[in-house]
Structure 1
Amino acid sequence: MVLAAEPLIHKSFSPAQAQSAAPATKGPVGRESGLPVPRFVSIKADKVNVRSGPTRDHSVAWVFTRAGLPVEITAEFETWRRIRDSDGAEGWVYHSMLSSRRTALVGPWLKDGATSLYASRDAQSRVAAQVEPGVLGQVNDCDGSWCRFYGDGFEGFIQQEKLWGVYPGEKID
């Protein structure tokens, strides 16, 4: 069985291409939270407004319509976080609309069809599932090369480089 991606967000514009970022394990921390910037988090609610600036007075640029999507925090200003999505689009979200729960998308850039999830951290192990680019799942137990990736109806290990929502080489317990 191959799991396909569901629609993820509604945007009122065409977003920029995704940009790569440095791992959140070393480097600057946010003045407001004391946590690394950049870092990955996820969307907490099924409807989250993304604004053009860090106040409620700024216009809504687009709306996330699915909880759990991974986003990257790229800056902090008081109670607001500037985020970047998997398309590379950036905007501001109120901090309470974000969760520290780690999720990821199977690489939207993977154009060769389904990607294998394996029974263990070895591409020679049994294939546990096939997932299409854009499939959303939870991620944990990353060793810098492989992550345990799971969701509704699938579970297995995937090469970390095939996920958006985890930095290359990042370790997650």
Structure 2
Amino acid sequence: MRTGPGRNFPASWLYVRPDLPVRVVDAFQDWRKVEDPGGTTGWMLKALVSERRTAIVTAPQPIEMRDRPAGTRVAYRAAPGVVGRVSECGGGWCRFDVKGQAGYVEQRDLWGVEVGETLP
């Protein structure tokens, strides 16, 4: 991450965590201004920002990953800070996959998808 949209701007942060979600808040040519889950903002090359949707658990306690939206059967649990891939969202629920362990979680417990956002 850099302080401005160009290689001549100093680096401000080095991300090493795979699939960490970021929110694109601005664009300039091949650069994207992004915000991370901690609120840090800066500029990254477009090529370094993946199209793959990911999210991080922000709830203060482990969340239940259910077999279907609003289902009663708990398939897995995900601890605060766990990062996973999001493939669909609707009705306040998102399909959340953590290294092959997938289930539906309440959208409000994730950072990386907006509450009410619908994904195919």
Report the TM-score when normalising by structure 2: 0.95
Superposed CA RMSD: 1.1
2:66 to 105, 115, 118: 118
Contact 1:71 1:86 in 2 (8 A): yes
1:20-169 matched pairs, under 5 angstroms = 50-107=1-58, 110-111=59-60, 113-122=61-70, 124-169=71-116
Structure 1 distance, partners of 2:109, 2:29, is: 33
Alignment deviations for residues 67-125 of structure 1 (CA, whole Å, 9 cap, x no partner) = 31110000011111000000000000011111111111111xx22x2111111111x51
TM-score, normalising length: structure 1: 0.67
2:104 pairs with 1:172: no
1:147 is paired with a residue whose SS is strand
The 4+ residue runs of structure 1 with deviation greater than 4 A are none
Q: How many residues align structurally?
A: 120
Q: Unpaired runs of 5+ in structure 1?
A: 1-49
Letter matched to residue 119 of structure 1? D
